[in-house]
Amino acid sequence: MLKSFFKNNLIYSLGNILTMGISIFLLPIYTKYLSPNEFGIIDLFMVIGTFVNLTIALEISQGLARYYQEAKNNIEKKHYTSSAFWFTILIYLLFFVFSFTFRDILSSWLLGNENEKKIFILALLAIVTNGIFIFTQNQLKWQMKAENSVKASLVYFTVLASVTIYLLVVQGFRVESIFIGQISGNIIASLVAIYFARKSYELNFSITKFKEMISYSSPLVLSSIGVIVGLYIDRIAIRDLLGFEELGIYGVAFRFTAIAGLVIIGFQHSLTPLIFKNYKKKKTPLEISKIFNVFVILALLVVAMTILFSKEIVILFTAKIFYNASNLITVLIIAVFFSNMHIFSPGLPIAKKTKLIALIALFGAILNTILNYTLIPMLGLSGAAYATLISSITTFIIYLFFSNKYYPLPYQFRKQIISLTIVLISTYSVVSIFDEVNLISIFIKTIYLLFVFVLTIYLLMEKKYLHQIRTNIIGKKISN
């Protein structure tokens, strides 16, 4: 399992670096041609799109993930995949027809202007096509076709970037250029993903397989609602309490959490299908624990990097009006890490306790809502960031507690908490001394970041593995 994990993780991570590179390349262009208010509109529909994509299809893709690996043969796998796929297509078609029918009311309610129907329809199409792309790309993940999944992502981001830049810079379009770029990328990338998994699709719908998947996945809709509210209620609260301009600044800060995605996505895409395939093996819990240690080392490195260089990052990639976003990046990145760490606690999904998963997620959503509407009036945008962080940590602890009852894992939490404490205290101390943006400060902070990496490896890696690494390095030097 470890060998397969690290192979797939490397592929997903490399692909994510490339796609993140495209996103970072686009950000200065966006901030040059779009106002904070327009960023706020984009962020609003991003929240709505996430909610729609995780609810209206009743999370059937998760049901497919749960049963696909345990299918007896390829024919049965094809029945599962096709049934889930055609259900997804039908649901999104119905959603589009309904939303288009009431476009006047919905555009006026969301945008405060009935004349913005064009933007609403484009955003609607972007949401629908993205839902289909997510399904087709997930299917590549369930089939453990890491290379093909990454290729589909690269196609999406390349088309998105090309179309958006042409419309925004050359043709002079505004917000609509973003949505048209997303629609184009979603359609082409979906076709590519379907081609890669073409042997899994057929004109067939199995009621039996569909019922199996839905009985598992439908309770997860409540969980998804909880997760969405937990992650995005900050944006909704900011819009209600502070307005679109502040939402735009917060949205820029949140875009930099894509740095955390460099770590998260590789683990997320690689680990989940492997756990469902291997969870019955005796050595799997220990292997998951070892993988989690690697995750913590990389996560701490990213956290330290954002504490050290958040000012430089924002200055480099945004316009002056967005510079205040630098104060939010680290807090949001830590929150994103905690909100995704449930993948390392697979007990509840393995035991099919989807109702309990939903209750935990709903609790997190309620907590985050209360905290946001309490802290934002007091602390502004920082209140939203800290509310999200507190609720993410609380929800993860509760999830971990119940998950370990069904599938105990030998985690080294004491070492990990000590490492986190050391990194946070020492890194903020360094920043307090070298706070100016200049070459000397950047050089010193870079040296310190390398120190953090070495320190976390020493604290969290087992000594026998460190000894093996030293032996291999010394052996190579002698052979040379």
With residue 342 as reference, give the H or E element that holds it.
none
Q: Which of 354, 72, 346, 357 is nearest to 213 (CA)?
A: 354
Report the alpha-carbon distance of residue 265 to residue 289 in Å, rounded.
18
Query: Tokens standing for 214?
Result: 């839905």
Q: Can you count the helices (H) and strands (E) in the chain?
A: 20, 0
- Spatial CB neighbours of 437, under 8 Å, sequence gap ≥ 6: 311, 312, 315
Name the 3-class secondary structure at 451: helix
Q: Which of 341, 369, 83 is nearest to 217 (CA)?
A: 83
Reported pTM: 0.70
pLDDT in tens, 448-458: 999 998 888 88
Residue 423: pLDDT band with limits 50, 70, 90 = very high
Report the alpha-carbon distance of residue 179 to residue 129 in Å, rounded.
11
Tell me if 456 sits within 8 A of 288, measured CB to CB: no
pLDDT in tens, 440-478: 888 999 999 999 988 888 888 776 655 554 554 455 444
Average pLDDT, the chain: 85
Q: Which of 441, 420, 440, 415 is nearest to 430 (CA)?
A: 441
Report the alpha-carbon distance of residue 161 to residue 352 in Å, rounded.
40
Q: Does position 389 have pLDDT exceeding 60, yes or no?
A: yes
The pLDDT of 103-107, averaged and rounded, is 85
pLDDT in tens, 127-154: 999 999 999 999 998 888 888 988 998 9
Report the alpha-carbon distance of residue 302 to residue 296 in Å, rounded.
10
